């Protein structure tokens, strides 16, 4: 299949801390990523999101680029500390006004707003009170969701509660490779549960205030695993099923509770939580970049702990001390992640088979070392010939179409990312954008991948 299915949504994605900048403008409070990135030694080159792509002040220009590319939808995230600078209490109206303008600007350009409530910028005050390992954070999240839903709920086309809670829980609280940088495996499991609870509570809160007829969703970053059965089972449990099962089917997988019993007794799960977490969703967001290889560690040789996705710091896998992560065969992107489009087809088919839920690829893309070259035929006289990214995106869109042809109900594809941006612990050293950002001048240059994507959007067929 090379034609996009009828109604298939093509979009691009970003996240607040990665693109907005304006870290202290209009009453925004500090988030855990401000604290983390300002702590020496934690982020490459000491980079921070203070300025990033200055999207907060240049959003009109970025909206024009999206319109020029012919995007159907834009997936952005809302910065909780702009809405509630300490994570609780009265809303900061200037913060809400920004997203109001953004949503209106999208609708004026006939681009569907897809809003994520949480893409990792937890208000620092909530972390100081315990962070995601504390139940109160989930309750506060529901209040925040209601505030945002009241203000934007007549216009947002799709709501996503959480982006990649795997990263928030395990990289934030077990490996320490992400903010807040804690290395407490038991706390990471409590964070898993409270993120799941936040998902359920925020869906209830949104549904009670939203006046439009949006789709509701959550986005997970799935681990597509290769290797030995028991290692695959364990990591699949911790990475995928610990979110999928409570959100879609109800309750936690028995094997995950058993595997992690020495780390936690899961007594933070209270009566009624299982029911609260399992709320109806219209679409499951799927983020996919690569696959990972696992095997049972022999206990003798040096254990390969590097996780193919964010392999720095301590292990992000509570209770999986006997699993190791050998390197995957290439080719690789600039992140060192292997390129395997067939993994995406396989994942979509699995999710379709096991859960029967409509799917949306909410992130897929690649970092490569781009080069800007003079080109008098292009606006601004510059071009970026990112053939590898074009091939990556093309092959992954083809993989999505393969899954659709084999019966998976896949409703859209969002390329990560619209803009080069702050890549968390890697700072600005990794460029994922289909649009180049010059961080000195804030100039935007459409890369060849952006032009390719525009062609896809225009013709609705794989160029």
Smallest separation (angstroms) from ligand IFM to the CB of 289: 7
Nearer to ligand IFM, 164 or 259 (CB): 164
Two tokens, residue 34: 């401000």
What is the C-alpha separation between 301 and 1, in angstroms, rounded? 46
Nearer to ligand IFM, 18 or 315 (CB): 18
Nearer to ligand IFM, 386 or 423 (CB): 423
Q: 148-167: which residues touch ligand IFM (CB under 6 A)?
A: 164
Smallest separation (angstroms) from ligand IFM to the CB of 246: 21
Smallest separation (angstroms) from ligand IFM to the CB of 436: 16
Q: Phi/psi zone of residue 236: left (φ > 0), alpha (ψ -120 to 50 degrees), beta?
A: alpha
Q: Phi/psi zone of residue 363: left (φ > 0), alpha (ψ -120 to 50 degrees), beta?
A: beta
3-state secondary structure of 293: strand
Choosing from 20, 324, 334, 363, the catalytic residue is 363
Q: 187-206: which residues touch ligand IFM (CB under 6 A)?
A: none
Nearer to ligand IFM, 181 or 253 (CB): 181
The question of whether 108 is a catalytic residue gets the answer: no
Nearer to ligand IFM, 164 or 386 (CB): 164
Nearer to ligand IFM, 115 or 274 (CB): 115
Q: 348-367: which residues touch ligand IFM (CB under 6 A)?
A: 363
**Residue 238, beta-bridge partner list:** none
Interface with ligand IFM includes 247 (CB under 6 A)? no
Two tokens, residue 133: 């390992």
Two tokens, residue 392: 């990556």
What is the C-alpha separation between 337 and 400, in angstroms, rounded? 19
E strands in 26-175: 73-77, 112-118, 158-163
3-state secondary structure of 277: helix
Q: 391-420: which residues touch ligand IFM (CB under 6 A)?
A: 416
Burial (CB count <10 Å: 0-12, 13-18, 19+), residue 250: exposed
Nearer to ligand IFM, 10 or 415 (CB): 415
Smallest separation (angstroms) from ligand IFM to the CB of 310: 8
Smallest separation (angstroms) from ligand IFM to the CB of 164: 6
Nearer to ligand IFM, 297 or 432 (CB): 432
Smallest separation (angstroms) from ligand IFM to the CB of 132: 17
Binding pattern for the stretch 56-85 against ligand IFM, x by CB under 6 A and - elsewhere: ------------------------------
- Applying CB under 6 A, the site for ligand IFM has a residue count of 8
Q: Which long-range contacts (CB under 8 A, 24 or more apart) does 98-106 make?
A: 98/26, 98/56, 98/59, 99/148, 99/151, 99/152, 100/151, 100/152, 101/59, 102/59, 102/63, 102/76, 103/152, 103/155, 103/156, 104/155, 105/59, 105/60, 105/63, 106/63, 106/66, 106/74
CA dist list (Å): 321 to 242, 259, 281, 297, 301 = 17, 10, 34, 8, 14
Q: Are 114 and 157 in contact (CB under 8 A)?
A: yes
Smallest separation (angstroms) from ligand IFM to the CB of 287: 5
Smallest separation (angstroms) from ligand IFM to the CB of 5: 25
Choosing from 20, 164, 324, 423, the catalytic residue is 164
Q: Are 72 and 416 in contact (CB under 8 A)?
A: no
**Residue 112, beta-bridge partner list:** 73
The question of whether 275 is a catalytic residue gets the answer: no
Nearer to ligand IFM, 86 or 429 (CB): 429
Two tokens, residue 1: 């299949």
Interface with ligand IFM includes 168 (CB under 6 A)? no
Smallest separation (angstroms) from ligand IFM to the CB of 416: 5
Q: 262-321: which residues touch ligand IFM (CB under 6 A)?
A: 287
258's enclosing H/E stretch is helix 254-259
Pairing of strands 73-77, 435-437: unpaired
What is the C-alpha separation between 113 and 119, in angstroms, rounded? 16
DSSP assignment, residue 43?
A: S
DSSP string, 171-197: IIIII-SSTT----HHHHHHHHHHHHH
Interface with ligand IFM includes 15 (CB under 6 A)? yes
From candidates 34, 259, 370, 423, binder to ligand IFM by CB under 6 A: 423
User: Site residues (CB under 6 A) for ligand IFM?
Assistant: 15, 18, 164, 287, 363, 416, 423, 432
Catalytic machinery residues: 164, 363
């Amino acid at each position: 299949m090379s034609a996009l299915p009828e109604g298939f949504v093509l979009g691009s994605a970003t996240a607040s801390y990665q693109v907005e900048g304006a870290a202290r403008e209009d009453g925004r409070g500090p988030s855990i990523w401000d604290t983390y990135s300002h702590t020496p030694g934690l982020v490459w080159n000491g980079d921070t999101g203070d300025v990033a792509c200055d999207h907060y002040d240049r959003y009109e220009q970025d909206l024009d680029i999206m319109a020029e590319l012919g995007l159907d939808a834009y997936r952005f995230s809302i910065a909780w500390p702009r809405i509630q600078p300490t994570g609780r209490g009265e809303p900061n109206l200037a913060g809400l006004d920004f997203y109001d303008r953004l949503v209106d600007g999208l609708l004026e350009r006939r681009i569907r707003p897809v809003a994520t409530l949480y893409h990792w910028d937890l208000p620092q005050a909530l972390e100081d009170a315990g962070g995601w390992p504390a139940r109160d954070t989930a309750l506060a999240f529901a209040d925040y969701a209601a505030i945002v839903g009241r203000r934007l709920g007549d216009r947002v086309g799709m709501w996503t509660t959480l982006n990649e809670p795997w990263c928030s829980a395990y990289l934030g609280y077990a490996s320490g490779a992400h903010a807040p940088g804690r290395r407490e495996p038991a706390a990471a499991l409590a964070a898993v549960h409270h993120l799941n609870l936040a998902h359920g509570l925020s869906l209830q809160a949104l549904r009670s205030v939203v006046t439009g007829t949006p789709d509701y969703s959550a986005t997970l970053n799935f681990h597509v695993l290769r290797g030995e059965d028991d290692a695959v089972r364990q990591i699949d449990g911790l990475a995928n099923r610990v979110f999928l099962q409570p959100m879609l089917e109800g309750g936690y997988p028995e094997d995950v509770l058993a595997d992690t019993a020495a780390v936690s007794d899961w007594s933070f799960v209270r009566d009624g939580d299982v029911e609260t977490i399992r709320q109806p969703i219209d679409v499951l967001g799927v983020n996919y970049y690569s696959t990972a290889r696992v095997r049972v560690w022999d206990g003798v040789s040096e254990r390969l702990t590097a996780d193919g996705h964010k392999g720095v710091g301590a292990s992000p896998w509570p209770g999986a001390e006997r699993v190791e992560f050998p390197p995957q065969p290439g080719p690789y992107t600039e992140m060192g992640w292997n390129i395997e489009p067939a993994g995406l087809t396989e994942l979509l088919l699995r999710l379709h088979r096991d859960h029967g839920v409509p799917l949306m690829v909410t992130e897929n893309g690649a970092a490569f070392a781009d080069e800007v070259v003079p080109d008098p035929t292009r606006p601004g006289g510059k071009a970026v010939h990112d053939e590898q990214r074009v091939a990556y995106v093309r092959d992954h869109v083809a993989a999505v179409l393969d899954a659709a042809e084999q019966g998976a109900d896949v409703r859209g594809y969002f390329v990560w990312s619209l803009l080069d941006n702050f890549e968390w612990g890697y700072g600005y050293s990794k460029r994922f954008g289909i649009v180049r950002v010059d961080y000195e001048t804030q100039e935007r240059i459409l890369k060849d991948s952006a032009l390719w994507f525009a062609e896809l959007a225009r013709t609705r067929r794989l160029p």
